[in-house]
Amino acid sequence: MRIKAGGVIELDGETITSWDDVSGTATDQTARDAAAAASNAAAAAQATATYGSNTANTALANAATAQSAAEAADAKAVTADGIADTALAVADGLNSRSNAWDKAIYTPGAQQISDNATTVLVAQAVARIGGSVAVTFADCEKQIADGTDGQFLTVICTNASVNAIKFSDGQGVKLAETVSFSMSANDVIQFVYDGANWVEVHRTDN
């Protein structure tokens, strides 16, 4: 700064004629204050935005955790469903049969054969059949209902000897040497189904 002859003051080449030339006008100050306020507001806005971003990130992380938990629960549900299905299949496969370590028990049926048109049913592995009349299955297309290929059937008779239930070769039954079998109480015959006929395995006249 220098003071020139005549009382003119210069600062960095600018002529200073009043204090406003050094400190700025009141308008300049207002503008500076406004700029400072704007800067502060921007900083505050940035801080708020950062907080919002952090909050959003936390929410996203929580959502991801919840989704993982839901997927794990889904997987467990599927597993449980599979186990239940397997248990049902096993129970269905066992049907009326119960297994122990040293024996297999087949709950017998109890079908009444009351005329020649009644077919022996094969819902059980052991068919206990009986009635009070003599039967020859003469009016049946099949003496024994169709089975499943490979199925075994044991037939036990409860009829009195005077009212025998008689199986004959034919009508869905293949008997040993084609010899018919008149069954009365305690007589037993066993068959295996070959896909078309019940083939005799053995018989016992008791």
Which residues contact Ca ion (rule: CB under 5 A)? Answer: 184, 187, 205
Q: Hey, how many other C-beta atoms are within 10 angstroms of the C-beta on 31?
A: 12
Residue among 130 and 147 whose Cβ is closer to Ca ion: 130
The H or E element containing residue 66 is helix 26-94
Task: State the minimum distance, in angstroms, from the CB of residue 109 to Ca ion.
Answer: 20
Q: What's the number of CA atoms in the CB half-sphere (13 Å) around residue 80?
A: 6
Looking at the Cβ atoms of 86 and 204, the one nearer to Ca ion is: 204
For Ca ion, the closer of residues 187 and 200 by Cβ is 187
Query: Is the CB of residue 26 less than 8 Å from the CB of residue 32?
Result: no
- Least distance in angstroms from the C-beta of 171 to Ca ion: 22
- Looking at residue 131, the DSSP 8-state letter turns out to be -
Query: Rounded to the nearest whole angstrom, what is the least distance from the CB of residue 180 to Ca ion in the complex?
Result: 13
Q: How far is the CB of 187 from Ca ion (least distance, A)?
A: 4
Closer Cβ to Ca ion, 153 or 164, answer by number:
164
User: Tokens 């028990």 belong to which residue?
Assistant: 105
**Do residues 190 and 181 touch, judged by C-beta distance below 8 A?**
no
Residue at 160: amino acid letter = A
